[in-house]
Amino acid sequence: MREIVVEVIARVVDDLLRLRKHLVEADFEMNSKLKIENLHVQVGETPILKGVHLEISQGEIHALMGPNGSGKSTLAYALMGHPKYVVTQGSIDIDGIDVNELDPCQRARLGMFLAFQYPVTIPGVKVADFLRHAITNVRTPDRKEGEPLMPMKEFRIELRDTMKQLNMDPEFARRYLNDGFSGGEKKRMEILQLAMLKPRFALLDETDSGLDSDAVRVVSEGLAKLSGPDMGVLIITHHERLLEYNIPNYTHVMLAGKIVETGDASLAHDLHANGYAEVRKRHPEEAAQEQKQQEATV
Protein backbone atom coordinates (compact mmCIF):
# COMPACT_ATOMS: atom_id res chain seq x y z
CA MET A 1 0.00 0.00 0.00
CA ARG A 2 2.65 2.42 1.08
CA GLU A 3 4.72 1.58 -1.99
CA ILE A 4 1.81 2.45 -4.23
CA VAL A 5 1.29 5.76 -2.49
CA VAL A 6 4.97 6.57 -2.82
CA GLU A 7 4.88 5.66 -6.49
CA VAL A 8 1.81 7.80 -7.14
CA ILE A 9 3.34 10.72 -5.33
CA ALA A 10 6.54 10.29 -7.32
CA ARG A 11 4.60 10.28 -10.56
CA VAL A 12 2.62 13.36 -9.58
CA VAL A 13 5.80 15.18 -8.62
CA ASP A 14 7.36 14.13 -11.89
CA ASP A 15 4.36 15.41 -13.83
CA LEU A 16 4.40 18.65 -11.94
CA LEU A 17 8.08 19.15 -12.69
CA ARG A 18 7.49 18.44 -16.36
CA LEU A 19 4.56 20.83 -16.39
CA ARG A 20 6.65 23.51 -14.70
CA LYS A 21 9.43 23.05 -17.21
CA HIS A 22 6.91 23.31 -19.99
CA LEU A 23 5.46 26.49 -18.51
CA VAL A 24 8.87 28.05 -18.08
CA GLU A 25 9.74 27.33 -21.70
CA ALA A 26 6.39 28.64 -22.82
CA ASP A 27 7.07 31.76 -20.83
CA PHE A 28 10.30 32.30 -22.69
CA GLU A 29 8.63 31.94 -26.03
CA MET A 30 5.56 33.81 -25.00
CA ASN A 31 4.68 36.79 -27.05
CA SER A 32 4.75 39.81 -24.76
CA LYS A 33 1.59 41.81 -24.74
CA LEU A 34 1.08 45.48 -23.92
CA LYS A 35 -2.45 45.80 -22.59
CA ILE A 36 -4.13 49.13 -22.12
CA GLU A 37 -7.49 48.98 -20.41
CA ASN A 38 -9.96 51.76 -19.84
CA LEU A 39 -7.17 54.32 -19.64
CA HIS A 40 -8.11 57.77 -18.42
CA VAL A 41 -5.42 60.43 -18.44
CA GLN A 42 -5.51 64.06 -17.52
CA VAL A 43 -3.07 66.92 -17.95
CA GLY A 44 -3.45 69.41 -15.15
CA GLU A 45 -7.18 69.58 -14.60
CA THR A 46 -8.11 68.65 -18.15
CA PRO A 47 -9.14 65.08 -18.92
CA ILE A 48 -7.71 64.06 -22.28
CA LEU A 49 -8.03 60.29 -22.54
CA LYS A 50 -11.41 58.95 -21.58
CA GLY A 51 -11.21 55.19 -21.58
CA VAL A 52 -8.70 53.85 -24.09
CA HIS A 53 -8.55 50.12 -24.78
CA LEU A 54 -5.68 48.76 -26.82
CA GLU A 55 -3.69 45.55 -26.98
CA ILE A 56 -0.40 45.30 -28.80
CA SER A 57 1.52 42.05 -29.12
CA GLN A 58 5.14 41.74 -30.11
CA GLY A 59 5.41 41.51 -33.87
CA GLU A 60 2.31 43.57 -34.57
CA ILE A 61 2.19 46.98 -36.20
CA HIS A 62 -0.59 49.28 -35.07
CA ALA A 63 -1.37 52.64 -36.57
CA LEU A 64 -3.06 55.23 -34.42
CA MET A 65 -4.69 58.03 -36.35
CA GLY A 66 -7.00 60.83 -35.45
CA PRO A 67 -7.48 64.56 -35.77
CA ASN A 68 -5.35 67.08 -33.87
CA GLY A 69 -6.15 67.19 -30.19
CA SER A 70 -7.77 63.77 -30.12
CA GLY A 71 -5.24 62.49 -27.55
CA LYS A 72 -2.77 60.48 -29.62
CA SER A 73 0.38 62.08 -28.21
CA THR A 74 -1.13 62.04 -24.74
CA LEU A 75 -1.40 58.28 -25.01
CA ALA A 76 2.24 58.06 -26.06
CA TYR A 77 3.45 60.23 -23.15
CA ALA A 78 1.24 58.44 -20.66
CA LEU A 79 2.59 55.09 -21.82
CA MET A 80 6.15 56.35 -21.36
CA GLY A 81 5.35 57.71 -17.90
CA HIS A 82 5.71 61.45 -18.35
CA PRO A 83 4.74 62.88 -14.94
CA LYS A 84 2.58 65.62 -16.47
CA TYR A 85 0.25 62.96 -17.87
CA VAL A 86 -1.60 61.55 -14.89
CA VAL A 87 -3.44 58.27 -15.12
CA THR A 88 -6.68 58.66 -13.18
CA GLN A 89 -8.30 55.37 -14.12
CA GLY A 90 -7.54 52.16 -15.94
CA SER A 91 -4.36 50.20 -16.37
CA ILE A 92 -1.24 49.70 -18.48
CA ASP A 93 0.16 46.21 -18.23
CA ILE A 94 2.91 44.16 -19.83
CA ASP A 95 2.66 40.43 -19.14
CA GLY A 96 1.16 41.00 -15.72
CA ILE A 97 3.49 43.83 -14.73
CA ASP A 98 1.68 47.01 -13.75
CA VAL A 99 3.52 49.53 -15.89
CA ASN A 100 1.75 52.47 -14.34
CA GLU A 101 3.71 51.90 -11.15
CA LEU A 102 7.03 52.37 -12.96
CA ASP A 103 8.98 55.53 -13.76
CA PRO A 104 10.08 56.19 -17.36
CA CYS A 105 13.51 54.70 -16.71
CA GLN A 106 12.06 51.42 -15.46
CA ARG A 107 9.64 51.31 -18.39
CA ALA A 108 12.53 51.69 -20.81
CA ARG A 109 14.36 48.88 -19.07
CA LEU A 110 11.22 46.76 -19.38
CA GLY A 111 11.41 47.20 -23.14
CA MET A 112 9.32 50.27 -23.93
CA PHE A 113 10.51 53.00 -26.25
CA LEU A 114 9.03 56.30 -27.32
CA ALA A 115 10.30 58.07 -30.40
CA PHE A 116 9.54 61.66 -29.43
CA GLN A 117 7.75 64.07 -31.65
CA TYR A 118 10.06 66.80 -30.37
CA PRO A 119 13.32 65.18 -29.23
CA VAL A 120 15.21 67.31 -26.71
CA THR A 121 18.69 68.69 -27.18
CA ILE A 122 21.39 67.83 -24.67
CA PRO A 123 24.43 69.98 -25.37
CA GLY A 124 27.81 68.49 -24.66
CA VAL A 125 26.57 64.90 -24.48
CA LYS A 126 27.78 62.95 -27.48
CA VAL A 127 25.35 60.68 -29.28
CA ALA A 128 27.70 57.74 -28.75
CA ASP A 129 28.07 58.34 -24.99
CA PHE A 130 24.37 58.77 -24.56
CA LEU A 131 23.63 55.59 -26.46
CA ARG A 132 26.26 53.62 -24.58
CA HIS A 133 24.63 54.54 -21.29
CA ALA A 134 21.15 53.83 -22.62
CA ILE A 135 22.00 50.50 -24.17
CA THR A 136 23.85 49.26 -21.08
CA ASN A 137 20.90 50.09 -18.85
CA VAL A 138 18.29 48.60 -21.14
CA ARG A 139 20.27 45.39 -21.54
CA THR A 140 21.16 45.08 -17.88
CA PRO A 141 17.98 46.38 -16.25
CA ASP A 142 19.36 45.90 -12.72
CA ARG A 143 22.34 48.13 -13.36
CA LYS A 144 23.06 50.92 -10.89
CA GLU A 145 24.90 54.08 -11.84
CA GLY A 146 28.65 53.63 -11.62
CA GLU A 147 28.54 49.97 -12.60
CA PRO A 148 30.41 49.14 -15.78
CA LEU A 149 29.15 50.26 -19.15
CA MET A 150 29.07 48.01 -22.17
CA PRO A 151 32.66 47.46 -23.32
CA MET A 152 33.69 50.28 -25.62
CA LYS A 153 34.95 48.10 -28.44
CA GLU A 154 31.85 45.95 -28.57
CA PHE A 155 29.66 49.02 -28.41
CA ARG A 156 31.51 50.81 -31.19
CA ILE A 157 31.21 47.86 -33.52
CA GLU A 158 27.50 47.58 -32.87
CA LEU A 159 26.96 51.29 -33.29
CA ARG A 160 28.94 51.38 -36.52
CA ASP A 161 27.04 48.43 -37.97
CA THR A 162 23.67 49.84 -36.98
CA MET A 163 24.45 53.23 -38.47
CA LYS A 164 25.56 51.55 -41.65
CA GLN A 165 22.32 49.61 -41.77
CA LEU A 166 20.43 52.90 -41.49
CA ASN A 167 22.68 54.66 -44.03
CA MET A 168 23.83 57.14 -41.41
CA ASP A 169 27.07 59.07 -41.51
CA PRO A 170 29.33 57.75 -38.68
CA GLU A 171 30.16 61.39 -37.89
CA PHE A 172 26.68 61.58 -36.37
CA ALA A 173 27.86 59.59 -33.34
CA ARG A 174 30.39 62.25 -32.42
CA ARG A 175 27.91 65.10 -32.44
CA TYR A 176 26.10 66.33 -29.38
CA LEU A 177 22.66 64.87 -28.91
CA ASN A 178 20.28 66.74 -31.21
CA ASP A 179 22.39 69.89 -30.86
CA GLY A 180 22.06 71.80 -34.10
CA PHE A 181 20.29 68.86 -35.76
CA SER A 182 17.76 69.51 -38.49
CA GLY A 183 14.24 68.17 -38.04
CA GLY A 184 15.05 65.18 -40.21
CA GLU A 185 18.29 64.46 -38.35
CA LYS A 186 16.48 64.49 -35.03
CA LYS A 187 13.98 61.94 -36.26
CA ARG A 188 16.74 59.75 -37.66
CA MET A 189 18.42 60.00 -34.30
CA GLU A 190 15.26 58.59 -32.74
CA ILE A 191 15.29 55.74 -35.24
CA LEU A 192 18.96 55.06 -34.47
CA GLN A 193 18.12 54.81 -30.78
CA LEU A 194 15.25 52.51 -31.58
CA ALA A 195 17.60 50.33 -33.59
CA MET A 196 20.18 50.17 -30.81
CA LEU A 197 17.77 49.62 -27.94
CA LYS A 198 15.61 47.01 -29.70
CA PRO A 199 12.54 47.52 -27.53
CA ARG A 200 9.67 45.06 -27.25
CA PHE A 201 7.23 47.92 -27.70
CA ALA A 202 8.04 50.96 -29.77
CA LEU A 203 5.80 54.00 -29.79
CA LEU A 204 6.42 56.46 -32.60
CA ASP A 205 4.85 59.82 -31.98
CA GLU A 206 4.46 61.58 -35.31
CA THR A 207 7.91 60.57 -36.39
CA ASP A 208 6.95 61.72 -39.89
CA SER A 209 5.79 65.21 -38.94
CA GLY A 210 7.73 68.19 -40.15
CA LEU A 211 9.81 66.15 -42.57
CA ASP A 212 10.06 66.46 -46.31
CA SER A 213 9.13 63.42 -48.34
CA ASP A 214 12.74 62.24 -48.74
CA ALA A 215 13.26 62.34 -44.99
CA VAL A 216 10.00 60.49 -44.38
CA ARG A 217 11.16 57.81 -46.79
CA VAL A 218 14.48 57.44 -45.00
CA VAL A 219 12.80 57.17 -41.61
CA SER A 220 10.13 54.82 -42.90
CA GLU A 221 12.65 52.50 -44.50
CA GLY A 222 14.66 52.58 -41.30
CA LEU A 223 11.68 51.56 -39.24
CA ALA A 224 10.74 48.84 -41.73
CA LYS A 225 14.21 47.33 -41.34
CA LEU A 226 13.93 47.30 -37.58
CA SER A 227 10.45 46.05 -36.87
CA GLY A 228 9.99 42.29 -36.86
CA PRO A 229 8.56 39.48 -34.83
CA ASP A 230 10.15 40.78 -31.62
CA MET A 231 8.82 44.30 -31.79
CA GLY A 232 5.32 45.59 -31.27
CA VAL A 233 4.96 48.99 -32.93
CA LEU A 234 2.45 51.77 -32.39
CA ILE A 235 2.74 54.38 -35.11
CA ILE A 236 1.02 57.65 -34.34
CA THR A 237 0.52 59.72 -37.44
CA HIS A 238 -1.93 61.77 -39.32
CA HIS A 239 -0.30 61.04 -42.59
CA GLU A 240 -0.18 57.85 -44.50
CA ARG A 241 3.34 57.97 -45.78
CA LEU A 242 4.97 56.25 -42.86
CA LEU A 243 2.52 53.40 -43.31
CA GLU A 244 3.49 52.74 -46.93
CA TYR A 245 6.63 51.05 -45.74
CA ASN A 246 5.16 49.76 -42.51
CA ILE A 247 1.83 48.19 -43.32
CA PRO A 248 -0.21 48.10 -40.14
CA ASN A 249 -1.98 44.98 -38.95
CA TYR A 250 -4.43 47.25 -37.22
CA THR A 251 -5.50 50.84 -37.67
CA HIS A 252 -7.15 52.66 -34.78
CA VAL A 253 -8.95 55.94 -34.94
CA MET A 254 -8.97 58.21 -31.94
CA LEU A 255 -11.57 60.87 -31.36
CA ALA A 256 -12.03 62.95 -28.23
CA GLY A 257 -9.87 60.70 -26.07
CA LYS A 258 -11.27 57.34 -27.13
CA ILE A 259 -10.47 54.79 -29.78
CA VAL A 260 -13.68 54.82 -31.74
CA GLU A 261 -12.83 52.50 -34.61
CA THR A 262 -10.37 49.76 -35.36
CA GLY A 263 -9.77 48.30 -38.78
CA ASP A 264 -6.97 47.07 -40.99
CA ALA A 265 -4.59 48.93 -43.31
CA SER A 266 -7.41 49.93 -45.61
CA LEU A 267 -8.91 52.09 -42.86
CA ALA A 268 -5.69 54.12 -42.83
CA HIS A 269 -5.93 54.60 -46.61
CA ASP A 270 -9.52 55.59 -46.29
CA LEU A 271 -8.82 58.17 -43.57
CA HIS A 272 -5.99 59.57 -45.59
CA ALA A 273 -8.18 59.93 -48.65
CA ASN A 274 -11.38 61.15 -47.01
CA GLY A 275 -10.38 62.73 -43.68
CA TYR A 276 -12.29 62.35 -40.46
CA ALA A 277 -15.70 63.71 -41.50
CA GLU A 278 -17.15 60.25 -41.97
CA VAL A 279 -15.71 59.07 -38.66
CA ARG A 280 -17.34 62.01 -36.89
CA LYS A 281 -20.66 61.21 -38.50
CA ARG A 282 -20.44 57.63 -37.32
CA HIS A 283 -19.58 58.76 -33.78
CA PRO A 284 -21.69 61.84 -33.10
CA GLU A 285 -21.23 61.70 -29.33
CA GLU A 286 -17.42 61.89 -29.52
CA ALA A 287 -17.63 64.44 -32.31
CA ALA A 288 -19.76 66.64 -30.07
CA GLN A 289 -17.24 66.28 -27.26
CA GLU A 290 -14.45 67.19 -29.64
CA GLN A 291 -16.38 70.28 -30.69
CA LYS A 292 -16.91 71.28 -27.07
CA GLN A 293 -13.22 70.81 -26.23
CA GLN A 294 -12.14 72.93 -29.16
CA GLU A 295 -14.50 75.70 -28.11
CA ALA A 296 -13.16 75.51 -24.57
CA THR A 297 -9.58 75.95 -25.72
CA VAL A 298 -10.50 78.92 -27.97
Partner 1 sequence: MQTAMPHISITTSEGFEAFLATRNEPDWLAQRRREAFALYQSLCVVELDPEEFRRVDLRLFRPNDYQLVADLPDGDEANQFSTLMEHRGDFGGSIAHTDGHLVRSDVTSELVEQGVIFCSLSEAVLKHEELVKKYLMTKAVLPDADRFSAWHAAFWTGGLFLYVPRHVTIEKPLHSLIGLASSKAADYSHTLIVLEQGASATLLEETASADENLPGLHIGAIELLVGEEAHLRYVQLQNWHHRVFHFAHQCGHVGRDASLQWTVGSLGSKFSHVHQDVMLNGQGADAQVNGIIFATGRQKLSYYTQQYHKAPNTHSDLLYKDVVCDRSRVIWRGMIEVDPVAQKTDSYQRNDSLILSHDARVDAIPGLKIEADGVRCTHGATAGQVDEEQILYCMSRGISRGEAMHLIVNGFFQQIFDRIPVEIVRDTLSQSVQTKLGFDN
Task: For residue 180, state whether it binds partner 1 (rule: CB under 8 A).
Answer: no
In whole angstroms, the minimum distance from the beta carbon of 2 to partner 1 comes to 57
Beta-carbon contacts of 211 under 8 Å, excluding residues fewer than 6 positions away, are 183, 184, 187, 219
Task: For residue 122, state whether it binds partner 1 (rule: CB under 8 A).
Answer: yes
In whole angstroms, the minimum distance from the beta carbon of 81 to partner 1 comes to 8
The site that binds partner 1 (CB under 8 A) totals a number of residues, namely 35
**Stretch binding partner 1 (CB under 8 A), from 50-58, 100-108, 165-173, 226-234:** 100-108
Task: For residue 80, state whether it binds partner 1 (rule: CB under 8 A).
Answer: yes
Single residue of 44, 83, 96, 180 touching partner 1 by CB under 8 A? 83
Single residue of 4, 26, 27, 148 touching partner 1 by CB under 8 A? 148
Residue 4 in 3-state DSSP? helix
**Stretch binding partner 1 (CB under 8 A), from 86-94, 143-151, 156-164, 246-254:** 143-151
Between strands 97-98 and 85-94, the pairing is antiparallel
Q: Quick one: angle between helices 152-165 and 127-139, nearest 10?
A: 110
Task: For residue 145, state whether it binds partner 1 (rule: CB under 8 A).
Answer: yes
In whole angstroms, the minimum distance from the beta carbon of 260 to partner 1 comes to 28
Task: For residue 141, state whether it binds partner 1 (rule: CB under 8 A).
Answer: yes
Beta-carbon contacts of 34 under 8 Å, excluding residues fewer than 6 positions away, are 54, 55, 56, 57, 79, 92, 93, 94, 99, 112, 200, 201, 232
Task: For residue 124, state whether it binds partner 1 (rule: CB under 8 A).
Answer: yes
Q: Of 235 and 287, which CB lies nearer to partner 1 in the complex structure? A: 235
- What are the C-alpha distances in Å from 165 to residues 92, 215, 221, 267? 33, 16, 10, 31
State the virtual CA torsion across 88, 66, 244, 115 in degrees, nearest 10. Answer: -40
Task: For residue 104, state whether it binds partner 1 (rule: CB under 8 A).
Answer: yes
Task: For residue 44, state whether it binds partner 1 (rule: CB under 8 A).
Answer: no
Give φ, ψ of 64 to 5 degrees: -120, 115
**Stretch binding partner 1 (CB under 8 A), from 56-64, 137-145, 237-245, 288-296:** 137-145
Task: For residue 113, state whether it binds partner 1 (rule: CB under 8 A).
Answer: yes
Task: For residue 201, state whether it binds partner 1 (rule: CB under 8 A).
Answer: no
Cα(75)–Cα(71) distance, rounded to whole angstroms?
A: 6
Cα(29)–Cα(21) distance, rounded to whole angstroms?
A: 13
Give φ, ψ of 227 to 5 degrees: -70, 155
CA atoms within 13 A on the CB side of 212: 3
Summary count for the chain: helices (H), strands (E): 11, 10
Beta-carbon contacts of 181 under 8 Å, excluding residues fewer than 6 positions away, are 121, 175, 189
Single residue of 155, 172, 176, 245 touching partner 1 by CB under 8 A? 176
Single residue of 35, 40, 53, 82 touching partner 1 by CB under 8 A? 82
Task: For residue 134, state whether it binds partner 1 (rule: CB under 8 A).
Answer: yes
Interacting residue ranges for partner 1, rule: CB under 8 A? 80-83, 103-105, 107-109, 113-114, 116, 119-125, 129-130, 133-134, 137-138, 141, 144-146, 148-149, 176, 193, 197
